[in-house]
Amino acid sequence: MKAINKGVANPPEHRGPDGDALGSALALACALREMGRQVTVYNPDELPYNFRFLPGADSVARTVPAEAAFDVTIATDAGAFDRLGPDVPPVGRRGLLLNLDHHMTTEPFGDVNYVDPEAASVGILAYKIIRGLGHPLSRDAAECIYASILADTGSFRYSSTDPECFRVAAELLEAGVDPWEMTVRVYEQQPLARMRLLADVLKTLEVHGKPGSPIDLTDGFINYARSVDGVEVAASFREPSNGGAWRVSFRSRGRVNVAAIAQKFGGGGHHNAAGCSIAGDEAAVRAKIAEEIEQALRG
Ligand SMILES: [Mn+2]
């Protein structure tokens, strides 16, 4: 048994899992291990700093041996097959491929696709699977699911927040989750380096000249741009590391569907949060994006 936690975040603008991708994979891993199954959670990228405390995160594998074979392979919150990482076992070694996702732009790459764009987080789908298996929720699994909901609803603030995620959250608290402890670990144990970066970013609301900043340290900064009164859509641009493409992230306040904008450039995501990659020089990339956003605002 193997739970593959995708190599890309939600929205898919950067490689590296977000709290939902990781939380949903670890929730399933917890439950399956409790049921006596052998599980490998694979992600080739660095785990997001503030989610490394989750049960099982310390044993996430960054590589999978070429000869390894599994009965089932589960992709969580991936959006596309090519985001799963280089070590995804081939057909014949991966068993059934189950694709768990809630991106409206996801590809049905699984043998079985459990895709629900209405689900607040893929952790909710993990919750339903664990419940469907008749397995009681352990505190460990519940923490992972709770983290996935925090990540994808912005702590029960975004429009993805629905009655279902509050109902599920209530059960997670009954299973032993301590909301304040989760808040502290996810939001209130920031590395000082992140705070210093934030200060720099807020000075200009544009990230320039921060080469080598770990991706997970800048995660969420774009929300500060969106939080400015009157801003309908925020976009952030991350410089290509070595001649690659710019990573563009979008956040919408709600009127504009930024997944549609990202899709025009081969990306995807959600109505309020999406991302894509674009090659080109900075001015050209910014102009293209500005034009698309302005067009969407007019529409
Ligand atoms: Mn997600």
Q: Supply the DSSP string of 58-117, one letter for each residue.
A: GG-BS---TT---SEEEEES-SSGGGS-TTPPPTTTS-EEEEEE--TT----SSEEEE-T
202 CA distance to ligand 1 middle (Å): 26
Distance 152 CA to ligand 1 centre (A): 6
What angle (nearest 5°) sits at the alpha carbon of residue 20, between those of residues 216 and 116? 140
Rounded to the nearest angstrom, the distance between the alpha carbon of 16 and the centre of ligand 1 is 13
Q: Ligand 1: distance of its center to the CA of 20 in Å?
A: 5
Task: For residue 186, report the distance from its CA to the centre of ligand 1, in Å.
Answer: 16
What pLDDT does residue 205 have? 63
* Contact call for residues 247 and 235 (beta carbons, < 8 A): no
What is the torsional sign of CA 269, 265, 295, 108?
A: negative
Length of the chain: 299
Pairing of strands 233-238, 246-252: antiparallel
Distance in Å, CA 21 to ligand 1 centroid: 6
Alpha carbon of 102 to ligand 1 centroid (Å): 6
- pLDDT at residue number 212: 57
Cα-to-centroid distance, 122 and ligand 1 (Å) = 5
Residue 10 CA, ligand 1 centroid: distance in Å: 5
Domains detected in the chain: 2-187 (3.90.1640.10), 192-298 (3.10.310.30)
| DSSP label of 8 | B
Which residues line ion ligand 1, judged by CB < 5 Å?
10, 20, 77, 152
| C-alpha to C-alpha distance for 17 and 22, rounded to whole angstroms | 6
**CA 131 – ligand 1 centroid, Å:** 19
Tens-digit pLDDT string for the chain (299 aa): 445 543 332 333 334 568 999 999 999 999 999 999 999 999 999 998 889 999 999 999 999 999 999 999 999 999 889 889 999 999 999 999 999 999 888 889 999 999 999 999 999 999 999 999 999 999 999 999 999 999 999 899 988 899 999 999 999 999 999 999 999 898 877 777 877 888 887 776 654 345 556 666 777 788 888 877 778 899 998 888 777 899 999 999 888 999 999 999 999 998 989 999 999 998 999 999 999 999 999 88
Distance from the CA of 284 to the center of ligand 1, in angstroms?
Answer: 30
**pLDDT value, residue 276:** 95
Cα(26) to ligand 1 centroid in Å equals: 14
CA–centroid distance, 245 to ligand 1, in Å, is 23
Rounded distance from Cα 231 to ligand 1 centre (Å): 24
**Ligand 1 midpoint to CA 45 (Å):** 17
- Whole-number Å distance, alpha carbon 101 to ligand 1 midpoint, is 7
